[in-house]
Amino acid sequence: MTPRNANPPVILALGALDPSGSGGLQADIETAASLGCHCSPIATTLAAAGAGTDTDSSPVNATLLIAQARSVLENMAVAAIKIGFLGSVANAEAVHTIILDYPEIPVVAHPTLMLWDRDDDDQQDFPDAFFSLIVPQVNIGIFSLWEARSISRELDTLATTAQAITSSGCELTLITGTGHERPTFQNSSFNQKGLIQHYQWEQEPPTCHGASSTLGMSTCAYLTHGCTPKMAIGQAQDFTWQTMRASRELGYGTRTPHRFFWADKNIESPQDLPSAKKNH
């Protein structure tokens, strides 16, 4: 009998370094560890503050980014790649060249446009670069409805926005916040054939800084554990939902997902957390 590999799956994460530790690479590291994976983090940009939509950031040098990522890919058994905010068009071009060289490794991407500065010369055309260079190489793309419409420039219906993304080459997309008829909250998944599923909850979770990073990395983690893409996004939403329900106020006037909620002795069980999910 061949001995089972005791090492955790390795996930290469490219994203922003958030000084609050609530989002970006810190969220990736915590989420991966919570779900039995090892995160190899590559900083693509340095954020000046921990939260907010107008946070200044400085992209890292694209040459250094490439060197770090290739170092990991050549020396570790990377099971999946998770892409967050890339910081500049140059970095999007750099990551494009990297993932083209490793087509067998699944890629999960979320653009994190809340960090995008449209007035910055390095970032001005970032949504277009992300759409043309990254999205066609992605297995699962995760977007808020605003992000999906911003990168695809498709402002008509939810279905046409999703179609613009999947027709570019992205195999499956999850668009969050597609329904806000309170108290219901909804996300929706699509492939090239159209709608796969609406995911609805009875109650909208609290707003959390780092929720999208948690969702993206948990999707990666479930993929590395053998889930299909559809199963992975379903499991990842459940996990993210529970981290948000157990979130804590650590600063910046917002809440941080509790990614180790299952190990918190102050929470007797997940059933102690309010609200439930409904799939339709």
- 5 assigned to some structural domain: no
> In angstroms, rounded to a whole number, what is the distance separating the alpha carbons of residues 143 and 162?
10
- 213 assigned to some structural domain: yes
Structure tokens at 111: 């653009």
- 183 assigned to some structural domain: yes
Q: Which residues on neighbouring strands pair with residue 173, listed in sequence order?
A: 141, 190
How many structural domains are present in the chain? 1
Q: pLDDT digit string (tens) for 34-45?
A: 999 999 999 999
Q: pLDDT digit string (tens) for 67-123?
A: 999 999 999 999 999 999 998 999 999 999 999 999 999 999 999 887 776 667 667
pTM: 0.86
Pairing, β 78-83 against β 107-109: parallel
Q: Which residues on neighbouring strands pair with residue 195, listed in sequence order?
A: 190
What angle in degrees, to the nearest 10, is found between the helix axes of 89-100 and 62-75? 20
Residue 11's SS3 state is strand
| Domain, as residue range, for 24 | 10-279
- 77 assigned to some structural domain: yes
Amino acid at 86: L
Give the position of tokens 């780092």. Answer: 210
- 177 assigned to some structural domain: yes
Please check the confidence at residue 279 and state whether its pLDDT lies above 50: no
Question: What CATH number is associated with residue 153?
Answer: 3.40.1190.20
Structure tokens at 144: 């808020």
249 versus 109: the higher-pLDDT residue is 109
- 142 assigned to some structural domain: yes
- 232 assigned to some structural domain: yes
